[in-house]
Amino acid sequence: MAALPHKNGRSGQRATIREIAEFAGVSIATVSRVVNGSGYVSDKTRMAVESVIREHRYTANRSARGLSAGRTGLVGVTLPRIHPSYFSVIVAGVAEALYELDMRIVLAPTLHEHDREVGLLERLMHGTTDGGLLVLPEESGSELRTLMSYGYRFVVVDPRMRIDERVPTVSAANSSGADQATRYLLELGHRRIAAITGPGDMMATEERLRGYHAALATAGVLPDPAIVIESDWEVDGGRRAGAALFELADPPTAIFAFNDPLAVGAMQSVVARGLRVPEDVSIVGFDDTVESEFVTPLLTTVRQPLAEMGRMGVSLLMRLLENRSFEALHVELATQLIVRASTGAGPAR
Amino acid sequence: MAALPHKNGRSGQRATIREIAEFAGVSIATVSRVVNGSGYVSDKTRMAVESVIREHRYTANRSARGLSAGRTGLVGVTLPRIHPSYFSVIVAGVAEALYELDMRIVLAPTLHEHDREVGLLERLMHGTTDGGLLVLPEESGSELRTLMSYGYRFVVVDPRMRIDERVPTVSAANSSGADQATRYLLELGHRRIAAITGPGDMMATEERLRGYHAALATAGVLPDPAIVIESDWEVDGGRRAGAALFELADPPTAIFAFNDPLAVGAMQSVVARGLRVPEDVSIVGFDDTVESEFVTPLLTTVRQPLAEMGRMGVSLLMRLLENRSFEALHVELATQLIVRASTGAGPAR
DNA sequence: TCACTTGCTGAAAACGTTACCGGGTTTCAT
DNA sequence: ATGAAACCCGGTAACGTTTTCAGCAAGTGA
């Protein structure tokens, strides 16, 4: 009778499905059906089983379930090294949404540059996760293609580059956000509005630039390439860009920075030059990360619904995991202009 | 021969230990030994097996391993809602350290206030994780006691309250960091140094206060309770505290805020009052989160080695998981004063 | 009454791995 | 030469689930 346990039975072991079945006087199959809500179970036995489950605080062992059913209840989320504050808001949204589905996040750091090819795969797949939510610093298409070829199900949140049509994505409405911001500056009376962009090959840059141009065009303002400066998303880049702008013979009266760190950098260089924000120069950022509330004056910025993006990513992924007949979805979530103190009326005409 | 697969064999299925064994012409037991580096295997067969493993990119199925060996290779990390930027640095350190051990993070959000009692337990234990790294917004001892009583192995990183001696903890050297900061202000010639603290019942407040007092005492400066204001770690609290300090008949010439948001808030209120930083008032923060680089002037602050704390937490946890004979360890990591632009010479005597 | 369906339940195979057991084969000191 | 010890490796139970399949009881239509 006494089975040979092949590992030391530590205390604190929890109830198994077999014990629950025994206590409830049913078979383990029935318990499984109750737990998963699958198949036929009479109300009477269901209630009996549920009561035993509650009493013993039983929850299914995830490893066993993963092994048997092929689904682990775990979702892999890549953790990019950069932009940590930005990132954690997305993750919070993801965690929240998954929690309600009784699933968990497994973090897969993308640390070293070149182990990714193999690494991403091994980390995310093979009995570890059911699917992935990828928040990548920059996509390299080949890894994504490999993942796809293995049939791995994943969603890219906040894509940086343009990627395969068939990959579902969630992003912010970049161009309309940029349009909003620019339009607001125009309404304040600014006509000479500079832009500090991210790297030109990135999607966010491209789309925000489109919104910026669209707003200018609508207002009948001719864009001046001299006051559109490409940078690198970092504070320091913002400082340099800001400095460069005020070297010009005809400096701008407003700056639209394509993310918050750039805006902060620009603001610092403006202040360093002895100019005042917003009296002399108005500044608008993009993202609404925590930084925007830490800066003086408080930064007017375009809020990306980051947590929402995480939640939406989860719901796309779930659709992917359930129906395998999916149409590749690309969701864009609306942005919102948050007016704070770094913007003011343009120059009197 | 053809077994009945009880689930649809999706493409992209990966090699199993049985296939590797077959290709290598050995038993699965031997493959397991090679993979885990346990037991005796001759160099010859080891190399042969390893080559097959490489060729097929085999990695053990984590669910199966978890089920069989009782260890899942997953570590639960609680995800507090607040202080996301602060937190993600710790997690990055944890992820990095775990990655090298071929382990992964499972995020367990502590979302709802009152499901914790049951929630934490169910989320972290029961075949899901081997151990936990807890970064809690505030500890409630009862949950920790329950976890301990179940024999769950965990480490608390950056403990907020004083907790059971037997729980290993990793924290920053709060009092010596506060001592450093205060001493630095004293060296600059400041004598009237205010403190804006966190809630009085928290460990960080208590310890930083001790360092602050120690430094003052060493310099022969009598502490004045009137310029020690208790607050709540938030920017807004810093603003209020700063405002209050300059209502005083004899306002301070320097402020030591017990975290960066408080420092930022204080700085904002000082500026709002028409005073200059650091010419009129010097300000020092604590934490060195990203915010300190986003503020003008750049904030002088005490750096907590957050990523290091995460890594150290992992190494304590590993010790816990291996030898079960552990002495409860309490590690304190050194802090470092980062001098930036928000501090300057004190008033001429 | 009989065949058939529907609702419900249990037995048992399978998932992929680890660790124990035991049977060999060397190596080594005496 | 010989017994003991170390080394090597295969067979297999066990981990806790899910899912298929078969079976039974009760209801249904002819």
* SS (HEC) of B113-182: CCCHHHHHHHHHCCCCCCEEEECCCCCCHHHHHHHHHCCCCEEEECCCCCCCCCCCEEEECHHHHHHHHH
3 state SS of A243: helix
Interface test with A, best of B111, B126, B262, B270 (most A CBs within 10 A): B126
Q: A66–B66: do the CB atoms touch at under 8 Å?
A: yes
| CA separation for the pair A282, A268 (Å, rounded) | 13
Selected residue with higher pLDDT from B151 and A50: A50
Selected residue with higher pLDDT from A37 and B122: A37
Are the C-beta atoms of A235 and A185 separated by less than 8 Å? no
- Nearest to B204, CA basis, from B283, B142, B259, B254: B259
| Model pLDDT, residue B121 | 65
- Cβ atoms within 10 A of the Cβ of A337, count? 17
| CA separation for the pair A6, A185 (Å, rounded) | 71
Residue position matching structure tokens 């490893």:
A63
Are B72-172+306-334 and B174-304 equal in CATH topology? yes
Environment class of B237 (CB within 10 Å of its CB; exposed 0-12, middle 13-18, buried 19+): buried
- Nearest to B69, CA basis, from A17, A10, A3, A123: A10
Specify the fold of A70-172+306-333. Rossmann fold (3.40.50)
Residue position matching structure tokens 């579902």:
A168
Contacts of B290 in chain A (CB under 8 A): 84-85, 291
| CA separation for the pair A317, A319 (Å, rounded) | 5
Rounded, the Å distance between the CA of A6 and C1' of C25 is 27
Q: Is the pLDDT of residue B293 over 90?
A: no
3 state SS of B347: coil
Residue type, A83: H
Backbone angles phi, psi at B92, to 5 degrees: -60, -45
3 state SS of A265: helix
Are the C-beta atoms of B67 and A64 separated by less than 8 Å? yes
Backbone angles phi, psi at A259, to 5 degrees: -155, 175
Asked whether residue A178's C-beta has any atom of DNA/RNA strand C within 7 A, the reply is no
Q: A88–B92: do the CB atoms touch at under 8 Å?
A: no
Interface test with B, best of A107, A110, A120, A135 (most B CBs within 10 A): A107
Contacts of B293 in chain A (CB under 8 A): 235
Environment class of B50 (CB within 10 Å of its CB; exposed 0-12, middle 13-18, buried 19+): middle
Backbone angles phi, psi at B66, to 5 degrees: -60, -40
* Nucleic strand D contacts from chain A, 194-223, CB < 7 Å: none
| CA separation for the pair B300, B83 (Å, rounded) | 20
3 state SS of A211: helix
* DSSP classification of residue A157: E
| Separate counts of helices (H) and strands (E) for chain B | 12, 12
- Cβ atoms within 10 A of the Cβ of A15, count? 18
* Nucleic strand C contacts from chain B, 58-77, CB < 7 Å: 58, 60-61, 64-65, 67-69
Torsion sign, CA atoms B90, B96, B100, B105:
positive
Asked whether residue B17's C-beta has any atom of DNA/RNA strand C within 7 A, the reply is yes
The domain defined by B72-172+306-334 carries CATH number 3.40.50.2300: yes
Report in angstroms the alpha-carbon separations of B348 from A81, B191, B279: 46, 11, 12
Rounded, the Å distance between the CA of B126 and C1' of C18 is 19
Asked whether residue A249's C-beta has any atom of DNA/RNA strand D within 7 A, the reply is no
Helix spans in A101-194 (H): 116-124, 141-149, 174-187
Rounded, the Å distance between the CA of B18 and C1' of C14 is 14
Coarse DSSP helix, strand, coil percentages of chain B, rounded to the nearest 5 percent:
45, 15, 40
Hey, what are A11's tokens? Answer: 């205390």
- Nearest to B84, CA basis, from A307, A85, A78, A96: A85
| Model pLDDT, residue A326 | 62
Contacts of B96 in chain A (CB under 8 A): 109, 111
Question: If you average pLDDT over residues B41-55, what whole number do you get?
Answer: 94
Residue with CA nearest D13 C1'?
Answer: A4
Classify strands A300-303 and A336-338 as parallel, antiparallel or unpaired: antiparallel
* DSSP classification of residue A6: S
- Nearest to B105, CA basis, from B115, B97, B95: B95
| CA separation for the pair A251, A243 (Å, rounded) | 10
Contacts of B81 in chain A (CB under 8 A): 92
Question: If you average pLDDT over residues B232-251, what whole number do you get?
Answer: 95
Share of chain B above pLDDT 90, in %: 63
| CA separation for the pair B346, B278 (Å, rounded) | 9
* DSSP classification of residue A163: -
Asked whether residue A36's C-beta has any atom of DNA/RNA strand D within 7 A, the reply is yes
Count contacts between A and B (CB, < 8 Å): 170
Environment class of A324 (CB within 10 Å of its CB; exposed 0-12, middle 13-18, buried 19+): exposed
Q: Is the pLDDT of residue B175 over 50?
A: yes
Instruction: Report which listed range, B60-69, B116-125, B251-260, is most confident.
Output: B251-260
| Model pLDDT, residue B329 | 85
Question: If you average pLDDT over residues B72-77, what whole number do you get?
Answer: 90
Rounded, the Å distance between the CA of A102 and C1' of D19 is 21
Nucleotide nearest to A27 (CA to C1'): C10
Q: B205 CB contacts (<8 Å, ≥6 apart)? A: B197, B198, B199, B230, B258
- Strand D bases contacted by the protein (CB, 7 Å): 7-21
Instruction: Report which listed range, A83-97, A197-211, B91-105, B138-152, is most confident.
Output: A197-211
Instruction: With residue B204 as reference, give the H or E element that holds it.
Output: helix B203-218
Q: A63–B61: do the CB atoms touch at under 8 Å?
A: no
Residue position matching structure tokens 């552990």:
B326
Nucleotide nearest to A7 (CA to C1'): C19
Hey, what are A155's tokens? Answer: 């969603």
Residue type, B291: E
- What's the half-sphere exposure (Cβ side, CA atoms, 13 Å) at A88? 20
Are the C-beta atoms of A159 and A172 separated by less than 8 Å? no
pLDDT tens for residues A326-342? 676 899 999 999 999 99
CATH entry, A17-60, from 1.10.10.10, 2.40.160.20, 1.10.260.40, 1.10.3720.10: 1.10.260.40
Backbone angles phi, psi at A87, to 5 degrees: -65, -45
| Model pLDDT, residue B325 | 55
- Strand C bases contacted by the protein (CB, 7 Å): 7-21
Question: If you average pLDDT over residues B51-75, what whole number do you get?
Answer: 91
- Nearest to B169, CA basis, from B123, B133, B212: B133
Low-confidence ranges of chain A (pLDDT < 50): 1-11
Selected residue with higher pLDDT from B89 and B251: B251
Q: A127–B63: do the CB atoms touch at under 8 Å?
A: yes
Specify the fold of B17-64. 434 Repressor (Amino-terminal Domain) (1.10.260)
Instruction: Report which listed range, A131-140, B57-66, B72-81, is most confident.
Output: B57-66
Question: If you average pLDDT over residues B232-243, what whole number do you get?
Answer: 95
Nucleotide nearest to A29 (CA to C1'): C10
Residue with CA nearest C15 C1'?
Answer: A68
Q: B127–A293: do the CB atoms touch at under 8 Å?
A: no
Asked whether residue B38's C-beta has any atom of DNA/RNA strand D within 7 A, the reply is no
Q: B235–A11: do the CB atoms touch at under 8 Å?
A: no
Backbone dihedral region of B37: left (phi > 0), alpha (psi from -120 to 50 degrees) or beta? left
Instruction: With residue A90 as reference, give the H or E element that holds it.
Output: helix A84-100
Residue position matching structure tokens 């089975």:
A3
Helices A203-218 + A174-187 axis angle, to 10: 40
User: How does the average pLDDT of chain B come out, rounded?
Assistant: 88
Instruction: With residue A262 as reference, give the H or E element that holds it.
Output: helix A260-272
Are the C-beta atoms of B301 and B285 separated by less than 8 Å? yes
Backbone angles phi, psi at A338, to 5 degrees: -105, 110
Asked whether residue A321's C-beta has any atom of DNA/RNA strand D within 7 A, the reply is no
Asked whether residue B40's C-beta has any atom of DNA/RNA strand D within 7 A, the reply is yes
pLDDT band at B262 (very low <50, low <70, confident <90, very high): very high
3 state SS of B193: strand
3 state SS of A60: coil
- Report the top-level CATH class of B174-304: alpha beta
Nearest chain A residue to B106, by CA: A106
Interface test with B, best of A53, A71, A102, A294 (most B CBs within 10 A): A294
| Model pLDDT, residue A123 | 66
Are the C-beta atoms of B288 and B304 separated by less than 8 Å? yes
Question: If you average pLDDT over residues B103-113, what whole number do you get?
Answer: 77
What are the sequence ranges of the domains in chain B?
17-64, 72-172+306-334, 174-304
- Cβ atoms within 10 A of the Cβ of B333, count? 15
